[in-house]
């Protein structure tokens, strides 16, 4: 008998296998071993979940917002004692290092449930002074059944955002977890299940082309909230267009970091490395993967970056000494390697550190890729234009401020950007000129709750990380106009 742990879908308050009894193996990128199996959910499972969410919706909608908020806060408290266990689960299933990433991600989920729990009763409307006899007021009403889809790179953070924001506003939810990293998400759902009425939250695991398609095309789903690649985002938007349902899309990025000549300093190097999300193997939508460094400092700056990166320890994500774990799966590993090969083949570029991953030794046992920096890249090369979603940084030299802004904007993405200089005028001029939803000046950290975070251009539509984002993404606005003269 197999001893592989088995996880199930959560539908209508119960844990169930897929109706067709098919399964997906979850493989750990640490060592390529199967660590669990999860249901290969499909159309029927999604239909069961959407129907359950539809039945649960009126009761949840009519629960006082304060009471909904209190339940979300209780969920936050209940997750807290499990940070270590769930953090280890993330590290094991998606390869993010426990110390530098995975543990913090679960703490972030705790903060998310607290945040949205505390703003649940802020779903206020307005009154408008139309004239003396008319009372016109607006209501923020939940939309109904929300279909939410998350990727594998920050599965717990992103699933928690969607669960907490949608539920705080009074919607019910069907969540499709990513097939590559569903386990920690199911652990979060399990904790939520102790507090929520049956059907309010449902979670189905399965492939995008099966469970994902079933969810985005289901006629009873009234809102789609998707985080993932731009290619799939386009498909989600097309499915939403068929039924005219609102859609929020948080998609990819190929984000610029601009280093001015006065910023050839260690703290900038540290910030650039953080901004590139090397300790997440570059697997972040906000990774600043195009590094524009002024010609006059490029050699010395790259030398400092290289020295800094050479100290990062790549290895088993569960090892406390590890800074940087493994990329998520074979497909992603092959994709990143193909970009590295392409860079290596271009005679004009040079590799400052990293390159092809080792084919023997302990790092060859999992999907480990060392931090890699290419210097002398042109902004229009494929390696500088496509989202690699791996630990590969492209250094592009520049001379003129206008030129660098033009190059930074010369991409179909527009998610985030970073500007590094002591000159505040230059910094703000550049921040305002860049087409991106989030520009950081002299800092390189991750999204903070309360920021209405999201993308320009093909990086997405809508905002979800804040109270305003919750109102925009998960409520409908209704006006009621009353003639008081009768
Ligand atoms: P992906 O688009 O391949 O998959 C994301 C999710 O969509 C998965 O759950 C997948 O099963 C599902 N899916 C795939 N095809 C589908 C379909 N036809 N219909 C419905 N669902 C489908 O992305 P990924 O490789 O898992 O994640 C990496 C991408 O996510 C990167 O592009 C990254 O930039 C992006 N991302 C964006 C943000 C953001 O906030 N903007 C955050 C994290 C990740």
* Residues 158 and 189 reside in one and the same domain: yes
Is 105 touching ligand 1 by the criterion CB < 6 Å?
Answer: no
449 within domain boundaries:
no
* Residues 370 and 388 reside in one and the same domain: yes
Identify whether the C-beta of residue 460 lies closer than 8 Å to the C-beta of residue 453: no
* Residues 228 and 310 reside in one and the same domain: no
User: Residue 2: what pLDDT?
Assistant: 65
* Residues 238 and 185 reside in one and the same domain: yes
Q: Which residues participate in catalysis according to the annotation? A: 250, 285
> Which of 331, 332, 344 shows the shortest CA–CA distance to 391?
332
Q: Number of structural domains, the chain?
A: 2
63 within domain boundaries:
yes
* Residues 119 and 150 reside in one and the same domain: yes
User: Residue 3: what pLDDT?
Assistant: 87
Cα(228) to centroid(ligand 1), Å: 2
* Residues 46 and 108 reside in one and the same domain: yes
Task: Look up the domain containing 126 and give its range.
Answer: 9-251+455-480
What angle in degrees, to the nearest 10, is found between the helix axes of 266-275 and 298-310?
Answer: 70
- Residue 114 CB neighbour total at 10 angstroms: 20
448 within domain boundaries:
no
Cα(252) to centroid(ligand 1), Å: 9
Cα(123) to centroid(ligand 1), Å: 29
2 within domain boundaries:
no
User: Residue 375: what pLDDT?
Assistant: 97
The CATH code of the domain that includes 44 is 3.40.605.10
* Residues 435 and 459 reside in one and the same domain: no
User: Could you tell me how many residues make up the chain?
Assistant: 486
User: Residue 1: what pLDDT?
Assistant: 57
* Residues 245 and 260 reside in one and the same domain: no
225 within domain boundaries:
yes
User: Residue 94: what pLDDT?
Assistant: 98
The CATH code of the domain that includes 268 is 3.40.309.10
CA-nearest residue for atom 13, ligand 1, is 208
153 within domain boundaries:
yes
365 within domain boundaries:
yes
* Residues 324 and 461 reside in one and the same domain: no
Is 232 touching ligand 1 by the criterion CB < 6 Å?
Answer: yes
Angle made by CA atoms 418, 423, 426, in degrees to the nearest 5: 65
Residues in the chain predicted with pLDDT less than 50, given as ranges, are: none
Is 228 touching ligand 1 by the criterion CB < 6 Å?
Answer: yes
* Residues 71 and 203 reside in one and the same domain: yes
Atom of ligand 1 nearest to the CA of 415: 41
485 within domain boundaries:
no
CA-nearest residue for atom 17, ligand 1, is 208
* Residues 426 and 459 reside in one and the same domain: no
Cα(297) to centroid(ligand 1), Å: 37
- Residue 367 CB neighbour total at 10 angstroms: 28
Q: What pLDDT, in 10s, does the model give residues 248-271? A: 999 999 999 999 999 999 999 999
Residue in the block written with tokens 């998310």: 112
Q: Model pTM greater than 0.95?
A: yes
* Residues 177 and 265 reside in one and the same domain: no
Atom of ligand 1 nearest to the CA of 232: 2
């Amino acid at each position: 008998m197999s001893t592989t742990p088995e996880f199930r879908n959560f539908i209508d308050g119960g844990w169930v296998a897929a109706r067709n009894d098919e399964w997906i193996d979850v493989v750990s990128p640490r060592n390529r071993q199967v660590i669990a199996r999860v249901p290969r959910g499909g159309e029927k499972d999604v239909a069961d979940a959407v129907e359950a969410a539809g039945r649960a919706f009126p009761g949840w909608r009519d629960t006082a917002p304060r009471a909904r908020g209190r339940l979300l806060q209780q969920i936050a408290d209940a997750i807290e004692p499990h940070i270590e266990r769930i953090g280890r689960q993330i590290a094991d299933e998606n390869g993010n290092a426990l110390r530098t990433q995975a543990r913090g991600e679960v703490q972030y989920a705790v903060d998310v449930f607290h945040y949205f729990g505390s703003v649940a009763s802020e779903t206020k409307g307005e009154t408008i002074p139309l004239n003396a006899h008319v009372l016109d007021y607006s209501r923020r009403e939940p939309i109904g059944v929300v279909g939410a889809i998350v990727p594998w790179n920050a599965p717990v953070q992103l699933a928690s955002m969607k669960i907490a924001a949608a539920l705080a506003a009074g919607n019910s939810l069907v969540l499709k977890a990513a097939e590559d990293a569903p386990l920690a998400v199911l652990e979060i759902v399990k904790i939520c299940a102790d507090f929520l009425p049956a059907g309010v939250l449902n979670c189905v695991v399965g492939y995008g082309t099966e469970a994902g398609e079933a969810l985005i095309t289901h006629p009873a789903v009234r809102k789609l909230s998707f985080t993932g690649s731009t290619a799939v985002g386009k498909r989600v938007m097309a499915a939403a267009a068929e039924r005219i349902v609102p859609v929020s899309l948080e998609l990819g990025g190929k984000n610029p970091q601009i280093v001015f000549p006065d910023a050839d300093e260690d703290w900038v190097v540290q910030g650039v490395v953080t901004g590139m999300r090397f300790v997440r193997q570059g697997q972040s939508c906000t990774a600043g993967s195009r590094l524009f460094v002024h010609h006059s400092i490029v050699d010395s700056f790259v030398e400092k970056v290289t020295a800094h990166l050479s100290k990062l320890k790549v290895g088993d994500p569960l090892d406390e000494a590890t800074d940087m774990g493994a990329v998520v799966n074979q497909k992603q590993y092959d994709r990143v390697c193909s970009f590295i090969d392409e860079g290596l083949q271009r005679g004009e570029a040079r590799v400052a550190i990293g390159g092809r991953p080792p084919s023997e030794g302990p790092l060859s046992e999992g999907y480990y890729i060392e931090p890699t920096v290419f210097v002398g890249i042109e902004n229009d090369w494929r390696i500088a234009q496509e989202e690699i979603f791996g630990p590969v940084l492209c250094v592009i030299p520049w001379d003129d401020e206008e030129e660098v802004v033009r190059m930074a904007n010369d991409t179909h993405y527009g998610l985030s950007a970073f500007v590094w200089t002591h000159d505040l005028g230059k910094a703000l001029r550049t921040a305002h000129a860049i087409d991106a939803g989030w520009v950081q000046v002299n800092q390189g950290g991750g999204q903070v709750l309360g920021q209405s975070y999201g993308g320009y251009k093909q990086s997405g539509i809508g905002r979800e990380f804040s109270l305003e984002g919750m109102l925009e993404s998960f409520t409908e606005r209704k006006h009621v106009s009353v003639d008081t003269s009768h």
